[in-house]
Amino acid sequence: MVRILKLAQMTAKDLATVKRRAELDIDQVIPIAQEVITAIAQTGDKGLIEYAQKFDYTGATPENIKVTPEEFEQAQHLVEPEVKKAVDQAFRNIKEVHQRQLPEEMNLAEIDKGIFTGEKITPIPKVGLYVPRGKGAFPSMMLMLTIPAMVAGVEQIVVCTPPDKQGNVEPSFPPMSAQMAGVTNVYKLGGIQALAAMALGTATVPKVDKLTGPCSIYGAAAKRVLFGTVDVGLPAGPSESIVLADETTDPQLAALDLLIEAEHGPDSAALLVTHSETVAEKASYFADQYLEKLPQWRREFCQTGLDAYGGIILTSSLEESIQFVNDYAPEHLEVLVDDPLRLVGEIKNAGEILLGKYTPSSAATYAIGVNAVLPTGGFARSYSAVSVYDFLKRSTIAYLTPQGFDRVKETSQTLAHYEEFPAHGMAITERDQLL
């Protein structure tokens, strides 16, 4: 059965392991990331293809790693009608959510007589998106990344997604989903080599200004090494979730939702946090029953992650449960309590907050439209979900009229003198004589 950990009885070491989740393992693969990135930086396509052949598929060449127009065309005809219908609805909802995020292109306001300030918003010119692959493809993840970039107006969008061992991306979903957002630069590359190619640029893969997208611990290690070379976006590593429950929570629903993120992979972290011993014990029982209904390979993912990083945390009160949630700062948070809206104000750190028994993480991942690319590893304390803002940059604007210049010149001269920047002060005093 899924383990139940009493918070009051956990050792400091046990608690630290749970809170750090799979991020604990990233340090071990940093040397591999450094090796691959250095090779690609020094030799370009030669190093890229060497590692693509080693980690992606043996037949990789500079000529065949890009998805061709023929593959895009083929993808449109391979999707079953009911799946196409589902992807269409997801596309519409995701696009609507992100279009509502768009700020005005420019604003300028008079903050004092003759002093105007504001911002100009422009899209980042080139972005690289990493769409992971497990046992299959993730069209939802392709939509979650490409749509906000498209809505933001990014000029060049480059996508990398891992191929299968024959060198093919899933024949329908990634190409179809990317093309719906107007993206045609899709490369069959995975892991460290994909991120390095986009960050550094090669003869085959364009260099970008920013990377974003969820990764395994290898991709997370690559981002850490590439930090400072390129904007690596939010830390989005192995999946994680907390289901917050009270004594009114249906333990079957809690058990079902506990397994949503657990099945992503053996390094996923899934927790049920509750102060109700009854809910904890029953949810553990039902989770065990539901595990038996999963395919063996998904069941093994769940069991490995739940044993290593997850399980059920039993607290002494709802207040202590909320404190644990805020300390943990989960990627996904489901609030399955009696009155979830009442608790929203108390949740400080979470990538997304899903309220009530009709809002499982599955619905948010696929259909609601909110972005499912979220900060992991506790970074929900300072990072936000992927949005159009990830693909926009702000330039501050200032404009002074003669009256505005008169109002700030003395302050500017005084502070320039105090900080010993004579050229700064001279630009004020001389200008006053010249104009």
Count Cβ atoms within 10 A of the Cβ of residue 342 and give its class: 0-12 exposed, 13-18 middle, 19 or more buried.
exposed
The residues annotated as belonging to the active site are 331-332
- Collapsing DSSP states into helix, strand and coil, what is residue 181? coil
Locate the DSSP E strands across 337-391: 352-355
Locate the DSSP E strands across 285-374: 311-314, 332-336, 352-355
Separation of alpha carbons 95 and 85, rounded Å: 15
CB neighbour burial string for 395-405, b if at least 16 within 10 angstroms, e if fewer:
eeeeeeeeebb
Name the pairing type of β-strands 106-112 and 115-123.
Answer: antiparallel
Helix or strand run (H / E) with residue 404? helix 402-418
Of 344, 359, 360, 352, which Cα lies nearest the Cα of 385? 352
CB neighbour burial string for 161-189, b if at least 16 within 10 angstroms, e if fewer:
bbbeeebebbbbbbbbbbbbbebebbbbb
Name the pairing type of β-strands 126-130 and 210-212.
Answer: parallel
Separation of alpha carbons 318 and 245, rounded Å: 8
Structure tokens at 374: 């979220």
Which whole-number Å values give the CA distances from 355 to 255, 338, 341, 344, 347, in the listed order?
16, 10, 7, 8, 11
Name the pairing type of β-strands 332-336 and 240-245.
Answer: parallel
Which whole-number Å values give the CA distances from 386 to 98, 146, 148, in the listed order?
10, 11, 8
**Strand ordering across the sheet containing 210-212:** 185-188, 156-161, 126-130, 210-212
Q: What angle do CA 204, 47, 75 make, to 5 degrees?
A: 45
66 DSSP assignment: B
